[in-house]
Structure formats: C-alpha cells, structure tokens
DNA sequence: GGGGGCTATGGGGGG
DNA sequence: CATAGCCCCC
C-alpha cells in the first residue's frame, strides 16, 4: 500500500475541511467571495484521487477555460501529473469533446462545425429575409435570444408552438412567426452540420436522453464523481444534463456543486437560482457546507459589500465575515465628465503605485460595459502605464482571422454554409451577390448546402468558371487535410486562397497589422499541433482541423493570457468574476449605466445588477475606489445621469465620502493652460485628492455652445467636447475640416465632417 | 459586379 | 459613435 500524504488538509479551516472530506453522495458548498472556493474544489479532487478514485472517473465542469486550467494546475500541485487525466473543462468544451465522438449517433457529423454568435445571427437574418418578414419587426437579436432561451429550457420548435405563453408573448411583440424561424433555424443548422453554443448543451442532452446504443450508461459509469463550479450560473438545460449523468436508479449520486447565489449574474443567458433550490429537493440527502469566512478583503470592503447585498430580498441566508484588518475606507471619485473620470482614475493609479508600491498587475479597472474602456486606455497610455483589455472584440473575431478560419471550417465541414458565404468571394474572385443569392435559392429548394449546390447542380451563371475554380480550391484543401496536420493545412490555405498576397499588397499600417494577426493565428495553430503531440497520453491525440477549430471557437481572449506581464487589467465586471486584485476601481457608477438602463424597469433585474455590483466590490483585497461622472458620451451624445443608487447603499462608515473631485473642464491640455486645477503628475511628487479650494476652471457641458458649421474656417481655434482644443488646418469643398487637437496623443490630426461635428469657436486667448 | 459615400439604426453581460 | 445597408456610379 502506498504512502499517501493528506497534509493539504491542514491548510483548510474546519468547514472547508469538512467539504473536502465528504466524498460520497451529493454535496452542496455555498461559498462567499474570497472564501477559498477554488481551494476546496481542487483539494476535493486531489482527495478523491488520493483515496483511490481514478482521475478519469472525475468530471469537473466550470464556466471558463481559465477556471478549468487553474483547477488542473492546482490539482497537479497536490497529486502530480495524473491531474492531467481528470476531465476538467467548461460545459461547452467537455460536451463538444464528447460530441466529437458521438455526434453521428444523433444525426450530426462528428466533424460538426460550431457556429458562433455571428454565424447564428447570419442564419437568422437569412431566414427572415427569405420569409419576406420585416427585419425591423423581426429584430435579429430578439429572435436569436428567443431561440436561445427556448433551447436552454428544452423547448423544441414543436413544443414552442404548443406553449401559449411563448406564442402570446411573440404575438404581443408582433412577431408571431418566431416559431417558424426557430424551426427553420434548427433545420438549417442541422443541414449545415453545425451546432451553435446552445446546441453543444442541447445535443449533449439529446444524446443522453435518447440514449442510442446505451451511450448514456457509458458516460454515467465513466464520470463517477461530478463537480460543478459556479452552479448558480447554470441554466435549466445544464442542470438537466447533470441530472442525466448522476440522477438515476442505483447511482451513488456523487455530485458536488459549488456556488454563491449572491454572485449569480448570468440570468440573461438563462441561468436560474432556482437550480440551487431544486438541487436540495432533487437530492434530499445533500450535505451542505457554507463557507462564510472571507480571506480576501479588508473589513471595510467586506462590510460595504454586505451592506449592499442586503438590499436584495432573494438570497440564501449567510453572513460573510473577515478576520482581516479594517484597511482603508472605500474612496469615491466624482467628476463632471467621463473623460475626467478616466483622468482621475489614471491619476489615482499613479498615486497608489507610488504610495503603496503596487505593481500594475495588482490593479484592475472594472466597468459595466466594454464600451467604457476607451477613456481609461487613453489616460493610461498618456501616463505610460501598461494595461491589458479583456473582452470586447476578441482576436478570433477579427475579420482577417475569421476569413482564414472560414476556409478551414469549410475544409473540415463542406456543409458549413456560413463559412462558404464568407469566403466564396474573398479574396475577390468575381462571384458577387447576385450569384450567391441564386445559389442560396437553389440550396433552399433542394435542401442542399451551398457546397453541394455548386458541386452537383448545373449552374446557369456567368460566374460559372469562377465558381468551379473555388470548388477546386476547397477540394485541394480537403486533400491536403487528409495528409497533413492542421498547421500545414492552414498555411496552405492562406497561400492558395490568395489571402496572404492580398494582405501583403496592403501596405497601410492597418494592413500590416492584419498580416501580423494572420501570422499570429498561424503560429497559434502550430503551437496547437505541437502541444498536442507532447500531451500524447491515453486519450487518442487529435490534431485534426475540426479539433483545432473547436478549441478556438470556444476560447476567449482571457484564455490566452500571458503570465508575468505587468499590466493593469481593464475588464467588464462580468469577466472579473473569480478574480482578485489588490486595488480595484469600479467605474461608471451611474443610473442607466450601472445599473444598466435595460434593467431599470424590472426589480429582478435590479437585483441582478446589485449582485453584479457585489461581485465588483468583492474583487478588491485592499484598495477599492468607486467613481462616477455627471455626464458622459453615451449613444453618440452627451448624457447626464444621476449617481448610481448602489452608492447610497454603502454607509459612511465604510466609504470615504469626502474626497470630492471636480472637473477641470472638458479640455484636457496637459500644458496646464486649461488644467491647472489638476494634480501634477510628473516626477515623484504625487497627491491623491486635490482639495476643494484647488478648483480652477470649471466647464459645464451645458455651457458648451455649438457653433454653426458654416462659420468654421481655416485657422480658427475650436473646442470639441471629446478632443478638447484644436486648430482648424483646412476645410475642403465637401465641408470636411482637418483639425489639429493638441490634447490628443496618438492621432492629434482629425478629419471631421462639419455638418455632424459639435464644435465651438473659441477666442485666441482662451 | 465592385466600390465609395451617405443614411439609418442600434446601443449589455458571454460560452 | 460604430456599423450595416443602401444608392449611385463606374
């Protein structure tokens, strides 16, 4: 018998240790922020392995690849390399991996494509068009979310029609044909051999539920121990899959769910707190452990977070507490404009770095919407503070990346219509919209994919020879794919298609950037292929194209993080869940923004926004700074919002409500001409809050008067609400002015259309 | 069939 | 403000 050390148990507090040691039967862990949740999860897996459970009998499901990766590496630290054999991944990636083997049993090719959100939208748009419905009434996003939520609630198109509530809702919204679109959408995806994100869950459920060839028993017996992280974020469908795997006659029901109802922030994609309550009903023998001690944050922060979350009616009773010192009160920054907010936050970061010796990577700026990142970027750049933005447009969503990927998708799965449409005329080969529409129509009539159409139907089109050239190209790619790995195919595709040549011919800065991105993609494919060989273990390695495509479709930018770089983190509050930083800035705390205007009319959604705010607050270990602006550019215009209601929910005991800062005006000249109310930031001498008496020029946006376009002439000094002061270099005959804004760092010279721009002429000595 | 430029429209969080 | 879609012209 081998010697096994359980010394890791000594690193846990009583309740954590109980949760880790209770290996058999259903377990529920309610884990407050910073309460050592990940530690409990990983040690639990380690403990299972040390007690003789085979790693491949353990399945842990998380929501992000990052969480899965961290879990694996932390398990490895305790039990060594056998951690690799634990099935740890996101719901989507684990199910995709299984479907890659089993999909043929339920009518999909094993080489199925994963449609991302853009692909789904494109399919829906096409359907709406083909049905001659008004695209304004049949809003693409609205339809997509109806379909998505139907799938997440296991409502098939047939059942959708029978569901009065759904049908009435659609009628009320003047979209009675939604169910038809849903049905067509499902058929189209199936015919294209494509699964959207919801399908990865739904088809997994179908596989288990319909159980062809007793495939369900295969996975039930394999996954003897199931762990689910962030259970509060699961939707109905995800829970039903979990039940398929563990909830059956004779099962030991070894399922452990970990979550925190107070951090449930994904109801918009179907997550339901109801699952936690239902879990207790479904598994009455459940052992419940509440982790309430917070090890992360100082007590001011913990107290403030408790104050806020107490405003929510719906919650599981618990008391989060900490033994940590008081620390510092929460700081509040108030400014006149969003631009000023960016500046004050950047100032404060410099100040904190100096005073507390913080590294960039210990600091995060959290916002409600990704669109808010820009002002912070500008000001961080200005002070030479390295930063990294997460979210927004991911690398894989860039055009040049998606273009090459579309070739690869089409190679792996010729039925992939979305990929086909993307590349049939890219690079330009003279196959225009008219021809593509014709192909689409034939495809509809014969229920064929576009590739099948061009290969089998005699097309009467001028572009016929060009189409045949394209078909030949794809065939050569397929041939290549049979003999080579994903990397070689990708390089071949990039060259053969003409994409490389096209990008090379564009010598602009952007064009060069696109070429670099493409090369970066190729590098990442190479890495994928090589890593795969290294990891050769008992699972058959698969460096095929579809495997690679699956991996990256399910990957987000966050998953590519390079460790060790010292960057300030900019991300949405949603993306910050599970992370922690010494110093956190929660910005844009205004009504209509945080809480979002979308949530204002619905008390349940306000509660979700509050939980989101709670998540934001509890990311901070030592320093927490909140900010809001009285005015900001929103939807292309200046808006004036009240401070967020959430700010009032923090008592004066925990927030330093005195540090009032005011704007020094919309201009932001660093020369000091308009900004002498700002703290000096050069050299080592930094201050935190300028005192009230320190205020100088105050410029209320309301005082800003737009000068008529016709009055703006060459040589004039003008003021722009966003760019600040500028000099008009020239005005051309189309009424486009070239204006030099000295306050703008990267591209001070802007070309502005006078008929739209809001500019105020200012006197020379302003 | 392709490209440029104007106009209308939407606008959240993410796997 | 960004982008999709449309119209017009080549």
Give CA–CA dist A766/A674, Å, rounded. Answer: 8
The CA angle A740-A715-A636, to the nearest 5 degrees, is 45
Catalytic residue list contains A38: yes
Strand B proximal residues, A:375-394, Cβ < 7 Å: 391
CB A43 within 8 A of CB A227: no
Q: How confident is the model at residue A211 (pLDDT cuts 50, 70, 90)?
A: very high
pLDDT > 70? residue A475:
yes
Indicate which residue of A102, A116, A126, A230 is catalytic: A230
Residues 6+ apart with CB under 8 A from A357: none
| A182 CA vs B2 C1’ separation (Å) | 34
Distance between the alpha carbon (CA) of A560 and the C1' atom of B11, Å: 29
* pLDDT (0 to 100) of residue A755: 53
How far is the C-alpha of A567 from the C-alpha of A582, rounded, in Å?
A: 13
Q: What average pLDDT does the segment A719-736 reach?
A: 67
Q: Are A724 and A666 in contact (CB under 8 A)?
A: yes
Question: What backbone torsions phi and psi does residue A475 show, to the nearest 5 degrees?
Answer: -65, -40
Task: Answer yes or no: is A432 CB < 7 A from strand B.
Answer: yes
Distance, Å, A124 CA → C5 C1': 17
Q: With cut-offs at 50, 70 and 90, classify the pLDDT of residue A707.
A: low
Beta carbon of A496 within 7 Å of strand C? no
What torsion, rounded to 10 degrees, do the Cα atoms A285, A289, A290, A291 define? -160
Over range A394-423, report the average pLDDT: 90
What pLDDT band is residue A444 in, cutting at 50, 70 and 90? Answer: confident
Distance, CA of A580 to CA of A39 (rounded, Å) = 14
Query: Which band of pLDDT confidence, cut at 50, 70 and 90, is reported for residue A464?
Result: confident
| Catalytic-residue membership of A351 | no
Segment A182-191 shows an average pLDDT of 95
Query: What digits encode the pLDDT tens for the residues A371-391?
Result: 899 999 999 999 999 999 887
Report the range of poorest mean pLDDT among A100-114, A191-205, A446-460: A446-460
Q: How many Å does it take to go from CA A399 to C1' B2? A: 19
Nucleotide nearest to A752 (CA to C1'): C1
- Catalytic-residue membership of A745: no
Cβ of residue A722 lies below 7 Å from strand C = yes
Q: Which residues of A spanning 352-371 put their CB closer than 7 angstroms to strand B?
A: 368-371
Chain C positions with a protein C-beta closer than 7 Å: 1-2, 5
How many CA atoms, within 13 angstroms, populate the side-chain half-sphere of residue A605? 13
pLDDT in tens, A63-90: 988 888 889 999 999 999 889 899 999 9
Is residue A4 very low, low, confident or very high in pLDDT (cuts 50, 70, 90)?
Answer: low
pLDDT at A763: 65
Question: Rounded mean pLDDT of A115-134?
Answer: 90
Residues 628-657/A with CB within 7 Å of nucleic chain C are 633, 635-636
User: Which pLDDT score, from 0 to 100, does residue A335 have?
Assistant: 94
pLDDT of residue A723: 60
Which residues in range 624-643 of chain A are in contact with strand B, contact meaning CB within 7 A of any of its atoms? 635-636
Q: Are A540 and A335 in contact (CB under 8 A)?
A: no
Q: Are A348 and A328 in contact (CB under 8 A)?
A: no
List for chain A the helix, strand, coil content (%; round to 5): 50, 15, 35
pLDDT at residue A752, rounded to an integer = 62
């Amino acid at each position: 018998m081998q010697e096994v050390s359980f010394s890791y148990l000594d690193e846990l507090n009583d309740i954590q240790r109980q949760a880790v040691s209770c290996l058999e039967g259903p377990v529920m862990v309610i884990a407050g922020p910073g309460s050592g949740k990940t530690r409990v999860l990983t040690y639990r897996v380690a403990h299972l392995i040390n007690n003789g459970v085979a790693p491949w009998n353990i399945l842990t499901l998380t929501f992000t690849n990052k969480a899965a990766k961290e879990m694996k590496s932390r398990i490895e630290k305790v039990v060594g390399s056998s951690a690799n054999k634990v099935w740890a991944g996101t719901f989507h990636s684990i199910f995709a991996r299984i479907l890659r083997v089993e999909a043929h049993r339920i009518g999909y090719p094993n080489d199925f494509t994963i449609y991302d959100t853009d692909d789904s939208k494109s399919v829906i748009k096409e359907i709406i068009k083909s049905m001659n419905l008004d695209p304004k009434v049949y809003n693409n996003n609205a339809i997509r979310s109806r379909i998505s939520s139907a799938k997440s609630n296991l409502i098939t198109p047939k059942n959708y029609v029978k569901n009065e509530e759904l049908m009435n809702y659609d009628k009320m919204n003047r979209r009675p044909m939604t169910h038809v679109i849903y049905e067509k959408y499902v058929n189209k995806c199936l015919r294209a051999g494509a699964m959207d994100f919801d399908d990865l869950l739904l088809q997994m459920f179908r596989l288990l539920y319909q159980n062809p060839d007793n495939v369900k028993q295969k996975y039930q017996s394999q996954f003897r121990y199931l762990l689910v992280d962030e259970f509060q974020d699961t939707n109905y469908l995800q829970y039903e899959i979990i039940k398929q795997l563990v909830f059956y006659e004779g099962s030991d029901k070894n399922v452990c769910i970990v979550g925190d109802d107070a951090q449930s922030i994904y109801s918009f994609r179907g997550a339901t707190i109801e699952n936690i309550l239902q879990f207790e009903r479904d598994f009455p023998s459940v052992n419940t452990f509440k982790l309430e001690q917070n090890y992360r944050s100082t007590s001011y922060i913990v107290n403030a977070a408790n104050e806020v979350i107490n405003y929510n009616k719906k919650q599981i009773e618990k008391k989060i507490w900490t033994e940590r010192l008081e620390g510092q009160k929460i700081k509040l920054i108030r400014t006149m404009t969003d631009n000023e907010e960016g500046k004050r936050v950047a100032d404060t970061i410099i100040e904190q770095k100096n005073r507390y010796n913080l590294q960039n990577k210990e600091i995060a700026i959290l916002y409600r919407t990704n669109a808010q990142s820009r002002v912070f970027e500008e000001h961080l750049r200005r002070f030479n503070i390295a930063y990294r933005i997460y979210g927004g447009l991911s690398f894989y969503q860039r055009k040049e990346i998606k273009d090459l990927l579309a070739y690869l998708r089409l190679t792996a799965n010729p039925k992939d219509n979305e990929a086909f449409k993307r590349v049939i005329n890219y690079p330009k080969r003279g196959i225009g919209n008219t021809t593509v529409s014709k192909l689409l129509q034939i495809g509809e009539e014969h229920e064929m994919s576009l590739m099948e159409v061009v290969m089998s139907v005699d097309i009467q089109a001028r572009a016929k020879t060009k189409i045949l050239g394209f078909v030949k190209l794809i065939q050569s790619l397929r041939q290549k794919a049979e003999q080579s790995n994903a990397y070689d195919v990708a390089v071949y595709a990039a060259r053969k298609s003409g994409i490389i040549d096209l990008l090379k011919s564009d010598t602009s800065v952007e064009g060069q950037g696109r070429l670099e991105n493409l090369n970066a993609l190729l590098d990442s494919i190479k890495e994928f292929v090589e890593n795969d060989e290294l990891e050769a273990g008992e699972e058959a390695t698969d460096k095929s194209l579809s495997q690679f495509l699956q991996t990256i479709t399910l990957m987000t930018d966050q998953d590519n993080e390079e460790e060790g770089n010292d960057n300030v983190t900019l991300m949405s509050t949603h993306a910050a869940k599970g992370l922690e930083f010494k110093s956190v800035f929660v910005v844009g705390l205004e009504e209509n923004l945080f809480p979002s205007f979308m949530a204002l009319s619905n008390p349940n959604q306000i509660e979700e926004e509050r939980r989101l705010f709670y998540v934001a607050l509890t990311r901070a270990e030592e320093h927490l700074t909140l900010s809001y602006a009285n005015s900001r550019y929103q939807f292309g215009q200046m808006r004036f919002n009240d401070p967020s209601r959430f700010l009032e929910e923090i008592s004066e005991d925990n927030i330093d409500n005195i540090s009032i800062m005011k704007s020094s005006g919309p201009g932001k000249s660093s020369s000091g001409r308009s900004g002498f109310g700002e703290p000096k930031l050069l050299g080592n001498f930094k201050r935190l809050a300028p005192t009230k008496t320190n205020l100088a020029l105050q410029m209320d946006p309301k005082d800003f008067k737009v000068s008529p376009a016709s009055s703006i002439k060459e040589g004039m000094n003008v003021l722009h609400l966003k760019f600040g002061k500028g000099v008009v270099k020239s005005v051309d005959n189309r009424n486009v002015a070239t204006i030099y804004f000295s306050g703008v760092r990267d591209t001070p010279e802007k070309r502005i259309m006078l008929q739209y721009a809001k500019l105020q002429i200012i006197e020379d000595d302003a």
